[in-house]
Amino acid sequence: MSFYEVLRARAGRAAGLIASAAETDVLRALSEENPNEAAFRALLSPAAVPRLETMARRAGELTARHFGRTVSLYAPLYLGNYCENECVYCGFRHSGAMERRKLSYAEVEEEGRALADSGIRHALLLTGESRVQTPVKYIGACAGILKERFGSVSVEVYPLEAAEYAELVRAGADGLTLYQETYDETLYARLHRAGPKRDFRYRLDAPERACRGGMRAVGVGALLGLADFRREVFFAGLHADYLQRAYPAAEISVSLPRFRPQGVGFAPGARVSNRDLVQAMTALRLFLPRAGITVSTREPAALRRNLVGLGVTRMSAGSRTGVGGYAAEEKSPGQFSVADSSGVEEVKAMIRKRGFHPVMKDWQTF
């Protein structure tokens, strides 16, 4: 059964089942060693909110058991901002009036040097979604340049074929992050008005193709704020669970990005409070004890500090979200506004203060 079939089989009833979970369902879920899908729904439900402290304690214990008291750091590196899509919520969209550019190979080298100088050893390469302006060959060449400075080079680019993911692996990339944005297929069609991204299924299957293409680490997630967070996190968790079971050799993770202003006047359809985010993270941890959980600089410093110890295993630090943002002053507007502008050393100090170890490098691609 493909993950699309898993999703379709549950799409109609998931929100109602989550909303109607009772306190007894939550208590049963908390008593289980390995919460199943129904228990995961209960942990995400409004009925679980009074149990958040228990969930947080359990999530912290599970994270320490599987990951130690560590948080890995990475930073995004934007290669280009050309995009063929019309996502209504994003300033990089095709019709957006902005200067478009992509880094030359010399600039990639320069950008890599500046980012590495900050102490970062795991880089996440991003582009807008344009096969024409930032083809696979270009992304692979950039990964090849950067793998000399970074232990791990991941990509967050438009969905590819399995053979193309394999090509990126050969070039030096070892990980993929790809957000589905929303797991609600109808809403997805409304938010993605034009461009190749309109193909919901092709995007949904991309993380699986990345596993087949040999990517070592694969991350999924939804952009929280586009729709009801409980349903979105439920499907993101099921997606990660599906991949973990089908590809046990891959390191699967879930990201919990909340919508940030992007200067396009888009008002998100759902509010996701800090408490909601904590519930999402702790429920995910209880359901998926071995999955990585990523929190980026979209979140403010004070909240990120409080999330350490609750399930997060990976954080971005010192992020710039514009093209060429590290080597020089931002040369182009960022994709979204960063909420935590702390430098890498400040983030490391914060993690240590919380009694955890910041990990700069836990992988080396050769």
Instruction: Report the interface residues with ligand SF4, using CB under 6 A.
Output: 83, 85, 87, 90, 92-93, 128-129, 197
Q: What's the closest the beta carbon of residue 301 comes to ligand SF4, in angstroms?
A: 25
Residue 21 or 178: the one with the smaller Cβ distance to ligand SF4 is: 178
Structure tokens at 233: 């996190």
Q: What's the closest the beta carbon of residue 172 comes to ligand SF4, in angstroms?
A: 23
Residue 197 or 258: the one with the smaller Cβ distance to ligand SF4 is: 197
Structure tokens at 46: 């409004």
Residue 3 or 92: the one with the smaller Cβ distance to ligand SF4 is: 92
Q: What's the closest the beta carbon of residue 94 comes to ligand SF4, in angstroms?
A: 7
Q: What's the closest the beta carbon of residue 83 comes to ligand SF4, in angstroms?
A: 3
Residue 334 or 358: the one with the smaller Cβ distance to ligand SF4 is: 334
CA distance 83 to 157: 11
HEC readout, the chain: CCHHHHHHHHHCCHHHHHHCCCHHHHHHHHHCCCCCHHHHHHHHCHHHHHHHHHHHHHHHHHHHHHHCCEEEEEEEEECECCCCCCECCCCCCCCCCCCCCECCHHHHHHHHHHHHHCCCCEEEEECCCCCCCCCHHHHHHHHHHHCCCCCEEEEECCCCCHHHHHHHHHHCCCEEEEEEECCCHHHHHHHECCCHHHCHHHHHCHHHHHHHCCCCEEEEEECECCCCHHHHHHHHHHHHHHHHHHCCCCEEEEECCECCCCCCCCCCCCCCCHHHHHHHHHHHHHHCCCCEEEECCCCCHHHHHHHCCCCCCEEECCCCCCCCCCCCCCCCCCCCCCCCCCCHHHHHHHHHHCCCEEECCCCCCC
CB 77 within 8 A of CB 120: no
Residue 83 or 350: the one with the smaller Cβ distance to ligand SF4 is: 83
Q: What's the closest the beta carbon of residue 282 comes to ligand SF4, in angstroms?
A: 28
Q: What's the closest the beta carbon of residue 169 comes to ligand SF4, in angstroms?
A: 22
CA distance 59 to 310: 6
Q: What's the closest the beta carbon of residue 44 comes to ligand SF4, in angstroms?
A: 25
CA distance 327 to 325: 6
Q: What's the closest the beta carbon of residue 195 comes to ligand SF4, in angstroms?
A: 7
Residue 279 or 316: the one with the smaller Cβ distance to ligand SF4 is: 316
Q: What's the closest the beta carbon of residue 210 comes to ligand SF4, in angstroms?
A: 17
CB 236 within 8 A of CB 220: yes
Residue 35 or 128: the one with the smaller Cβ distance to ligand SF4 is: 128
Residue 100 or 290: the one with the smaller Cβ distance to ligand SF4 is: 100
Residue 18 or 90: the one with the smaller Cβ distance to ligand SF4 is: 90
Residue 80 or 213: the one with the smaller Cβ distance to ligand SF4 is: 80
Amino acid residing at 67: F
Structure tokens at 309: 């110890």
Q: What's the closest the beta carbon of residue 91 comes to ligand SF4, in angstroms?
A: 7
